[in-house]
Amino acid sequence: MRVNNTTKLSTFLLLSGMCVGTSPFAEANAVRYYSANLDNSLWYMANNTQLNCELEHVIPRFGKVQFHSEASKQLNLTMKLDMHQLPDEYGVASIESVPPRWQPGANSYAIGSMDLYKQFNGELEKKAAWTLLTELEKGRYPTFLYQDWYNQRDQVAVAISSVNFRSAYDAFKGCINALLPFSFEDIAYTVLNHEADSDELTVSSQRKLKQISDYLKVDTNLDLVLIDSYTDALGAREPNQTLTEERANTIKAFFVERGINAERIETVAHGEDRPIEHNDNEIGRQKNRRVIVQLSKPSGVEF
């Protein structure tokens, strides 16, 4: 249910520090207002790594708001309105940008809406989430307005305070700029290829290996790095077996030299067994000269 203009006006009066009781609409539409005040408005980085950036703000007696961005090939951002009391039915919250009381004469304006689903927190995707951040940067109060689930006389107004926002926001933007430009899913299963009769990786595979190494240094939740090494069928079987062992150990040493615990790494050398292409042409042999690096996390750990 969308919030009517009466509620919007009542919310504006509340944020402006005026007495709602003086409004002719106050008696017909009660507003339960939640927001941090000047004394308890706190913004903080809940997570600041190259994998995840989380900026949080507590809304007293209501819950908290969280802005989240994670390592990925594409810039991403979500906002979650984490409520102590989850919605009990479907609804729609309108979103207003409301000026603080120390900006007399400034007007509020609509900046969007947010669907509310039964027993789920509210969420906004990238464009809408960035809009909220830019309104906060201007010192305004993005405010969610929706109908109470049980009391039809009540509207709920939830304002995000811009007090003490900017320094935390600067830290959040710095964190986003430092995120790895790839995710766990991008490197969890990686095929590396070698030059012929060598333990040297191709140029493209060297870049992939560097990405894996960068990820391993910042993600401590991995419980296993599995290195499977294969080669083509040229030459004798025993030298081929030895070659795959050397290739697997070379990659393991690469990780260990960069601070990865050797106990987290397991190597398996398959020699010329398990080809994926025929060995009667160079294209097929190049594909068979491969090392597969697989990363795994304990069950229940989010990527």
Which of 24-28, 52-56, 98-102 is least confident?
24-28
pLDDT in tens, 272-290: 888 888 877 878 888 888 8
Domain boundaries, the chain: 5-177, 184-296
pLDDT confidence of residue 23: 34
At which residue do the structure tokens 């010329």 appear?
Answer: 272
Fold held by 5-177? Immunoglobulin-like (2.60.40)
Q: Rounded mean pLDDT of 239-255?
A: 89
Q: Does domain 184-296 have CATH number 3.30.1330.60?
A: yes
Which of 33-47, 93-107, 170-184, 218-232 is least confident?
218-232
Report the share of the chain in percent with pLDDT over 70: 87
pLDDT in tens, 186-208: 999 999 987 766 667 889 999 99
Report the share of the chain in percent with pLDDT over 90: 59
